[in-house]
Structure 1
Amino acid sequence: MFRNSLFAAALAAGSLLWAGTYRFDVKTDRPAVDYKTGEPMVFTVQLLEDGKPVEGKKIEWVRAGDDRKVEKGEAVSGAPVTVTTKSEKPGFVRLSLSAKDADGRPLRNGTRSVGYTAGAAADTDQFEVAQEPADFDAFWAKQKARVAAVPMKELERVPVELANKQTKDKVVCYDVKVSCPGGKPMSGYLCMPKDAKPKSLPAKVVYFGYGVYPISKNDGAARNQIVLSVNAHGFLNGQPREYYENLKNGELKGYAFNEKENQDPETTYFNGMMLRLIRSLEYVKSLPEWNGKDLTVEGHSQGGMQAAIAAGLDKDVTMAIPNQPWMCDMGGAALGHLRGNWHIKPTAALFYYDPVFHIRRYDGRLKVLAGLGDYVCPPSGMAALYNNAKGPKEIVYTQGAGHTGNAKGEKFIHKSPSVQNNGR
């Protein structure tokens, strides 16, 4: 018996050794985000092993959508598999794919199950969102007044040595802290070219995704501009790993998910974060090296949320690049819009932090990055953000892209006429 077990284990190990790399290839019969409501959407699906079609494997698929319709099916791999559906209302369709072997066991690449999430959309320009709070502008005027009541003072500017050989002799970097209401300073890294002259440089403010970790300096982007990288929490920069682990498991554990705090827009964790955001913009504009006209904000996920909110709160922002921004379309679930498993329970108080409502106040340039396989920050929220912007705008959807800041895959782009005419 023991011998047989060893033999079986050896066979299993051998099969793993010789197994190739599996992936799904998915195409739509037209640009995936250009369908009309009620129009057939045709997905062509093929399972590949080392880039070649593989036969005899089981493909399972689940279709869900913002129209609340769910469909399921299965097929055997080999020839391309066609899945045809349609959306009964403006919105997105999610096609989730998985693969199994002949014995019904999930196919794996190493320890990871083989799967793929594709998407398509109908009439994205007609996508509906919830109503914004009636006192939205009054609330944010009050928050700006709270920041203004604390005189802006640079509490700390400590030179930081750069390890990057490409920038260490060309860029200066500082660990900065600036006074702010809410109990924590605005904290981050300030980088710019050495010996920059007054009023000579554009500025960029970079915000970061959810979590408790040391932020990057972004000195590589500071060869010809000011770059202020802002940590969301006002904590110390450049500390040992234990410092961040202690915060992650203590004071900042599960931050922003506290339902009691989220009953009031001034007690939610996001309030302090946005007070620091307002101050970060004021601070970068106060730097003598800023040219006084070019101000970009960008970030991924939580950082994308902050970038979009920054654009709406500060009239001097000229370019916003929210990459898969979090918290868009907070009222979408009540309207039937799809969302993933990782989300904050919506409350009326959190509507003040919905980037969709902030972007309505922004008329500068906007570039939104979205993943058609992202259900941490679903593409419906990205479409809502794009639709509600007033200025020159562009949105790039990437097929199959999950919640990653560096999405790879087939791109589908929508642009406003003003962007198209300028060739940007």
Structure 2
Amino acid sequence: MVFIRATQSSSDIACIAVAPLSIQPFGVEPTDFDAFWTQQKQTLAQIPINPRLTLLNTLPSGAKVFLLELDNIDNRKVYAYLSVPAGTGPFPAVISLPAFGDAPVQPEPLIMTDFAERCNSINLYISAHNAPPNLPDPNAYKPDDLSKKDGFYARTMIMAGIRAIDYLSTRPDFNGSLGVSGMSQGGGWTIQLAGLDKRISAAMPINPAFCEQDGWRFERASGFPNYVLVGRNLNVDSNKTLTNMRYYDAVHFMKRYRGALMFQVGYEDDVTPAATQLAAYNKYRGNSTLLTMRERGHTYPFDEYFLGRYAFFEQHLIGFKNPFNFKAKFLADAGNDRTVKDTAVLEPQFLVNNEKNKVSNIQWAKIEGTGNVGFQTENGKTVARFSQKGKYLLRVSADFDYKLADPSVASYYTLTDFVTLDVGESSNIDVCDSDKEAPNFSNCPQNIALTTMGTSALANWTPPTVADNCGTPSVSSNFLPSQSFPIGATKVIYRATDSKQNTAECSFSVIVTKGDSSTPPSKNDLAISLTSVVTTPRPHSFTTFKVKINNKSARTFTDIKIQIPFPSGIVTGGAATSTLGEWKEWCSNNDQCFTWLIPQLLKNDEAIL
């Protein structure tokens, strides 16, 4: 995954994800991960819950809001707002986990009370700290000793969540159906709890933190709280930090969760980078809905989060009532786990807003298994053939667009489900041994037409992508982008060859024609603008200029030279960057002039200096 941030004249962010469902974590799980957390839970279990309730308010519906205090490990307390519906129940429950910080949160108005007032559900809003949620904690996030695996502050947070579930389980008005949700810190905390406590049946993490903490070690993105950097600032040995932080990485908790999952990720997130979140998501092995927001950072779409949350919990929590008209159900079904011979017919089903199979980009993939799997087709209903006996875990995924609010929000959903197949017979022949299927090109460029005043022209294009049913094919080409092409028609050929010498071609032509030098560009062909960041600079101050040229014609122009003179008395210099061509700090012997040389400007294109 590529994350790009502009640093000059803009702060725009652009992200590119290739095969997001294939992103895997770098870190290795500790061998005693389960033993460590089992010991922590056993220590907590020996401490009495000792609940203390203080009534804060009775809401108009008859629901009550309490301040709840429980005993936790290390002589700490668990503090939470507890909202309980009117009546005797039994009710489902939702635990809400906060984002990073220790700012006081008042019990009302609090959107979590909606669960009690309107959703027939108990709600627990848990503080991460050793203080009531309506008060600041002077020792928030302390101690945080990264030199010991049991010294992390997150350990007390995780135990606080488990202790809250312990308390809920003692209430006669709780029906045992439990959901948990949170954003950022709360999202990572959600995954940690869900992976440790099987009493959770539905989890909804949003932009989760604590994911892929090993990223820094491999010069890759690492999620908040970036333990490697925190350890350096605390002068903790980096090797100790790297070893100990893995006990808190959401990646390792996610693989242990088996309940329903609704996961939201923003591609432009620079706090918990999307690659780290997807590394955790891809370790999940159950039925899930992934909301991908391509142009959103460390935040959430209001409607998709709040309305989507009500619909998600209504679908997966017994007795939960959704007070809104948005009743959409999203579901993927890969079929039942079963025993097969050497082949299996796979026919997935998808439910989107209560309509069946309104999806696109259906894909099958092998996730686990000793041998190879060949799919007759990777889309929709298919036949899978297995090279060896044994158990295989297969994943099916499909995409769909569904806009709750702003239709301009670039987002889409992905549904996934898994099926385990126990293959009892096999021909022991690799499914690719008899492969006769050629590779497949996509996004093959169209013919490119250029005009030049000289003898050649530069041509640019985006190379095509190629896929194959058996591995990665080799690709060769007689020309590459940004090469110079002579006048006339030149054929560009991309050839892909797989391991069985099946081949496929993608071809197009670059057609260069001689322009009429007697017809120079008119003022309607090219438009140039010069703007300043500071419109009225102070004397002896500096400002930044931006020059933009647009080719508004149907012609391609070459060898463009732009000279930018400045009045006497202005000192010029500094750095400059351009999207095309090169710049010089002077025009011949004139130090009050800049020159910008552009070798080629395509039709309907622009360049910026």
Q: Deviation of residue 342 (structure 1)?
A: 6.6
Whether 1:204 aligns to 2:109 is no
Whether 1:159 aligns to 2:55 is yes
Q: What SS class does the counterpart of residue 122 from structure 1 fall into? A: coil
Aligned to 1:286: 170
Q: Contact conserved, 1:368 with 1:382, CA < 8 A, in 2?
A: no
Once the two structures are superposed, residues 122-144 of structure 1 have per-residue CA deviations (whole angstroms, 9 ceiling, x without a partner) of 12232221111010000000000
Once the two structures are superposed, residues 63-111 of structure 1 have per-residue CA deviations (whole angstroms, 9 ceiling, x without a partner) of xxxxxxxxxxxxxxxxxxxxxxxxxxxxx111324673xxxxxxxxxxx
Q: Deviation of residue 334 (structure 1)?
A: 2.3
Q: Deviation of residue 236 (structure 1)?
A: 1.9
Deviates more, 1:309-318 or 1:276-285: 276-285
Q: 1:171 aligns with which of 55, 59, 63?
A: 63
Q: Contact conserved, 2:268 with 2:296, CA < 8 A, in 1?
A: yes
Aligned to 1:271: 155
Q: What SS class does the counterpart of residue 413 from structure 1 fall into? A: strand
Aligned to 2:104: 214
Instruction: Decide which structure has greater strand share.
Output: 2
Q: Contact conserved, 1:305 with 1:355, CA < 8 A, in 2?
A: yes
- Using the alignment, how far apart are the partners of 1:342 and 1:204 within structure 2? 25
Q: Contact conserved, 1:187 with 1:231, CA < 8 A, in 2?
A: yes
- Using the alignment, how far apart are the partners of 1:335 and 1:396 within structure 2? 27
Q: How high is the TM-score relative to the length of structure 1?
A: 0.65
Q: Contact conserved, 1:184 with 1:235, CA < 8 A, in 2?
A: no
Aligned to 1:412: 412
Q: What SS class does the counterpart of residue 74 from structure 2 fall into? A: coil
- Using the alignment, how far apart are the partners of 1:403 and 1:388 within structure 2? 22
- Using the alignment, how far apart are the partners of 1:331 and 1:339 within structure 2? 7
Q: 1:234 aligns with which of 122, 130, 151?
A: 130
Amino acid at match of 2:3: R
Once the two structures are superposed, residues 393-420 of structure 1 have per-residue CA deviations (whole angstroms, 9 ceiling, x without a partner) of 122121221212446831132221369x
- Using the alignment, how far apart are the partners of 2:258 and 2:197 within structure 1? 11
Residue-pair matches, total: 295
Q: What SS class does the counterpart of residue 262 from structure 1 fall into? A: coil
Pair member with larger Rg: 2
Q: 2:196 aligns with which of 294, 305, 313?
A: 313
Q: Flag the structure with more relative contact order, 1 or 2, with Cα contacts below 8 A and sequence separation at least 6.
A: 1
1:391 to 1:196, Cα distance in 2 relative to 1, 3 A:
same
Q: 2:40 aligns with which of 143, 158, 161?
A: 143
Aligned to 1:399: 294
- Using the alignment, how far apart are the partners of 1:188 and 1:405 within structure 2? 24
- Using the alignment, how far apart are the partners of 1:189 and 1:117 within structure 2? 38
Percent identical across equivalent pairs? 25
Q: What SS class does the counterpart of residue 417 from structure 1 fall into? A: strand
Amino acid at match of 2:103: Y
Q: Deviation of residue 299 (structure 1)?
A: 0.5
Whether 1:193 aligns to 2:79 is no
Amino acid at match of 1:158: T
Q: What SS class does the counterpart of residue 73 from structure 2 fall into? A: coil
Whether 1:298 aligns to 2:181 is yes
Q: 1:347 aligns with which of 238, 242, 253?
A: 242
- Using the alignment, how far apart are the partners of 2:61 and 2:20 within structure 1? 48
Structure 1: unaligned runs, 5 residues or longer: 1-91, 101-113, 420-424
1:339 to 1:418, Cα distance in 2 relative to 1, 3 A:
closer
Once the two structures are superposed, residues 365-398 of structure 1 have per-residue CA deviations (whole angstroms, 9 ceiling, x without a partner) of 1111111111211111211121111111122121
Q: Contact conserved, 1:371 with 1:397, CA < 8 A, in 2?
A: yes
Structure 2: unaligned runs, 5 residues or longer: 229-240, 303-405, 420-609
Q: Deviation of residue 335 (structure 1)?
A: 3.0
Aligned to 2:3: 94
Aligned to 1:132: 29
Q: 1:180 aligns with which of 72, 91, 95?
A: 72
Q: 2:139 aligns with which of 215, 229, 251?
A: 251
- Using the alignment, how far apart are the partners of 1:406 and 1:281 within structure 2? 29
Q: What SS class does the counterpart of residue 159 from structure 2 fall into? A: helix
Aligned to 1:15: none
Q: How high is the TM-score relative to the length of structure 2?
A: 0.46
1:268 to 1:95, Cα distance in 2 relative to 1, 3 A:
same
Instruction: Decide which structure has greater helix share.
Output: 1
- Using the alignment, how far apart are the partners of 1:181 and 1:341 within structure 2? 24
- Using the alignment, how far apart are the partners of 1:227 and 1:143 within structure 2? 25
Q: Deviation of residue 284 (structure 1)?
A: 1.7
Q: Contact conserved, 2:83 with 2:123, CA < 8 A, in 1?
A: yes
1:371 to 1:97, Cα distance in 2 relative to 1, 3 A:
same
Aligned to 1:36: none
1:211 to 1:380, Cα distance in 2 relative to 1, 3 A:
same
Q: Contact conserved, 1:320 with 1:365, CA < 8 A, in 2?
A: yes
